[in-house]
Amino acid sequence: MGNYVNPGNAGFASVTKGYYVDKTEMIAFMNSRLGTKEKLICVSRPRRFGKSFAAQMLCAYYDKSCDSEELFGNYKIAQEQSFREHLNKYDVIYLDMTWFISIAGEMEQVLTLLEEKVVGELRSAYPDVEQAQTFPETLSNINAETGNKFIIIIDEWDALFREAKNDSRLQKKYIHLLRSLFKSSLTDKMMEAAYMTGILPIKKYGTQSAMTDFREYTMIAPNRLGEYVGFTEEEVKTLCQEFQMDFETTKRWYDGYSFGRIKSVYNPNSVMEAMRNGAFASYWTRTETYESLQMYIDLNEDGLKEAIVQMIGGARISVDVGTFQNDMTTIRQKDDVFTLLIHLGYLAYDAESRTVGIPNEEIRQEFVRAVATGKHQELAKMIRNSDLLLEQTLDMDEEAVAAAIEEAHRAGTAPAFYNNEQALRSVIRFAYISCVDEFMKIEELASGRGYADLVYIPKRGSDLPILLIELKWNKSDAGAISQIRKKDYPQVLKEFGGEILMVGINYDTKTQKHTCKIEKLAT
C-alpha cells in the first residue's frame, strides 16, 4: 500500500464515518465498462459536487491491497451482481493533481515530481520487474512480465491547465504524458479502466487531443451519471426527515439542476451543510468568493447585461452551448460565458428547451452580490429600482409604479422589439426582480376561466399580500382589473389566504406610456 499506488480505502472510510448519502451504485456502472472500449471515463463537475468522494470510493472498491467488503457491505453496491467479481481485484493508481501542484513548489516541476513518486512506488511494488524511467514504460514492463492491468484514477485532472493556463510548454509535456497513457497501442493491454474528474469538459489542446477515446459526462450531458451529479429529490427528502428540516425551503435554496429523467438534482455540499447546521444559507458559494463570478458578469458581451437581469428575476434564456471551447480564457460571446457558468455550477442547463437559468436561491444571491459590486452599474441600479418598485406596489402608489415600469422599459428592452404583450411581460419581469426574495413567481396561472399573466405568491411565513398582475396592450389599466374580476382569477389563490393586490398595467403605443391601477382584495 502506498500514497499513489494502491492507496487503500482510508479516504472513503473517512467519508462514510460522517453522514453518507449512498452513491455506491455508480460502481456498478464502472464495472460494466471495465475492459471494454468504453473503459476511459471523464466526469466533469463543479467544485464541491463530490468529485473527490467518488474517486476515493472507486479506489476503496478496486484496490487489491485492502479488504473493503465490510466497508461496502451495507450499501447498495453490495446487492449488485458484479459486487464481489471486481471487489479489491486490481492495482489502482490514484493521482490528485492539486496535491502534486501544491507540493512541487515550482509549477514546471509538477510532472517531474509526479513521475518520480509514482515510478518509485511501482518499483517498490514490483521489484523484480525490469526498471524503466518513465511512468508509461514502467506500467508497460509490469504488464508484460506479470499480465497485471491497472485502474488509473486522476482527481482534478485539468488542474494543471487551469493553474498554468499560459505555460504552453508545460501543457504540451502534460499532454504527451496523457497520450502515452491513454492513446497508445499499449493502453488496452495496460489498463482495465481509467476514471478522471475535472471541472471543465475535455479541451482539444494543441493540434491533437490526448483524450479522444474518453467517454465524457458533463453538467450539460451527464447521461447515465445524472443521478450522481448531486443529491436526488428522494435523497433530500430523507435527509430533511432525519434532520428535521423543511423540505420545501431546502428545495428552494439548493435544487435547480435537471438532467433528462432526473428532474431535480441538489447541490450536495450545501444540502449537507444546511442539515448539519440546521440553517439555510449560501454554503457552497462561501467556498469561493463572488469575484470569480463577477469576473464573467463584467465581460462586455452583447446582451449579457439584460440576460443576467432577466435570470435574476427567474427567466430562462436560450443558449448555444456548442461554441464553448472548454476553457476559462477563450470567451468570444455571451453564450460562451453562460456555458462556462453551467460547468462551474452557477447556471443550470435544460437540454430539451436549450435554455439556461439560475438554479436556486443560493446562487441567485451570489449573482445579486456580484452585480451590486461589479462594473455594470446599470445592473445594480436596476436591482435597487426593483426594491423600490416593490415598496411602491405594496403602498399602492399607482403613479410611482407606472413611472418605475417606464424606467425598466428604457433600461432593459430595445424599443424595436417592444411591440407586443410578451415584450411587456419581459419588462415586468425585469421590473419586479426583487420579488424573488420574498415571493414565488408563477406565469400564466390557470384559473379555470383563463390565465393570469403574472402572480407573485409570498413565501411561507410571510405576511405580504399576493401580487396578481394583469397586462394590457393598447387598452386600459382599469380593463386589466376588470378582467381579473370577470374571470375570477383570485379564486385559485384562496388556499393561500391573506390579501391580494390586483395590479393592472397597460402600455399605450401611441403615447408610449405605461399606466397602472391597483386594487386590494381579501381572499
CA distance 296 to 388: 27
Strand order in the sheet with 40-44: 91-96, 150-155, 191-198, 40-44, 215-217
Q: Tell me the average pLDDT of the chain.
A: 88
Question: 234 or 496, which is more confident?
Answer: 234
309 has a pLDDT exceeding 60:
yes
Q: What is the pLDDT of residues 314-364, one digit of tens each?
A: 788 999 998 887 777 777 788 888 999 999 999 999 999 999 999 998 998
279: pLDDT strictly greater than 90: yes
The lowest-confidence range among 15-19, 182-186, 228-232, 324-328 is: 324-328
Residue 409 contacts residue 418 (beta carbons within 8 Å):
yes
Question: What pLDDT was estimated at residue 379?
Answer: 67
Average pLDDT over residues 29-39: 97
Beta bridge partners of 505: 471, 516
Integer angstrom CA distances of residue 10 from 41, 63, 95, 419, 474: 23, 11, 15, 64, 70
CA dist 168 and 182 (Å) reads 20
How does strand 215-217 pair with strand 355-357? unpaired
Which of the four pLDDT bands, split at 50, 70 and 90, describes residue 505? very high
The contacts of residue 496 (CB under 8 Å, 6+ apart) are 457, 458, 466, 523
Write down the pLDDT at residue 415: 45
Q: Is the pLDDT of residue 466 over 60?
A: yes
- Which region among 60-64, 89-93, 95-99, 519-523 has the lowest average model confidence (pLDDT)? 519-523
DSSP state string for 307-360: HHHHHHTT--EE--GGG--SSSS---SHHHHHHHHHHTTSSEEETTTTEEE--S
For residues 415 and 413, give the distance between their C-alpha atoms in angstroms, rounded to a whole number. Answer: 6
On the CB side of 131, CA atoms within 13 Å amount to 9
Q: Which residue has the cell 434564456?
A: 317
% helix, strand, coil for the chain, step of 5: 50, 20, 35
pLDDT score, position 416? 45
List C-alpha distances in Å: 175 to 44, 155, 500. 18, 16, 62
168 pLDDT band, cuts 50/70/90, is confident
**pLDDT, mean of residues 194-211:** 76
305 membership: H or E segment, kind and range = helix 304-312
Centroid of chain to Cα 275: 20
pLDDT in tens, 356-386: 999 998 998 888 877 766 666 666 777 788 8
* Residues 495, 458 contacting (CB under 8 angstroms): no
If 0-12 CB within 10 Å is exposed, 13-18 middle and 19+ buried, where does residue 519 land? Answer: middle
SS3 514: strand
Of the listed ranges 28-32, 394-398, 486-490, the one predicted with least confidence: 486-490
Q: Confidence class of residue 300 from pLDDT cuts 50, 70 and 90?
A: low
pLDDT at 209: 59
HEC per residue, 362-421: HHHHHHHHHHHCCCCHHHHHHHHHHHHHHHHHHCCCHHHHHHHHHHHHHHHCCHHHCCCH
Whether 370 contacts 293, CB under 8 Å = yes
Query: Coil, strand or helix: which one is 480?
Result: helix
| Average pLDDT, integer, range 249-266 | 93
| pLDDT band at residue 124 using 50, 70 and 90 as cut-offs | very high
At residue 189, the pLDDT reads 94
CATH class of 10-217: alpha beta
At 414 the pLDDT is: 43
pLDDT for position 322 = 87
pLDDT digits 0-9 by tens, 417-465: 556 666 777 788 778 877 777 888 888 888 767 888 889 999 877 889 9
User: Once rounded to an integer, what is the mean pLDDT over residues 81-100?
Assistant: 97
Q: Is the pLDDT of residue 523 over 60?
A: no
* Domain assignments of the chain as residue spans, ordered by start: 10-217, 250-375, 388-522
Axis-axis angle for helices 304-312, 361-372 (nearest 10) = 140
**What pLDDT, on a 0 to 100 scale, did the predictor assign at position 522?**
66
CA pair distance 360, 371, nearest whole angstrom: 17
Please tell me the predicted confidence (pLDDT) of residue 61: 98
Q: What pLDDT is attached to residue 290?
A: 52
Computed from CA positions of residues 505, 511, 512, 513, in that sequence, does the dihedral angle turn out positive or negative? negative
Q: Can you tell me the distance from the alpha carbon of 463 to that of 273, in angstroms, rounded to the nearest whole number?
A: 28
Provide mean pLDDT across the span 288-314: 72
Confidence of residue 43 (pLDDT cuts 50, 70, 90): very high
Q: Name the more confident of 297 and 319.
A: 319
> Which H helix or E strand runs over 172?
helix 168-182
> Mean pLDDT throughout 198-211?
70
Give the list of residues 6+ apart from residue 428 with CB closer than 8 angstroms, or none.
Answer: 405, 408, 453, 454, 469, 471, 505
**Helix (H/G/I), strand (E/B), else coil: 469:** strand
pLDDT band (50, 70, 90) for residue 208:
low
**The pLDDT value given to residue 101:** 96
518 pLDDT exceeds 90?
A: yes
Residue range 136-158: mean pLDDT, rounded = 96
pLDDT (mean) for 121-126 = 95
The CA radius of gyration of the chain, in Å to the nearest whole number, is 27
Residue 251 has pLDDT above 70, yes or no: yes
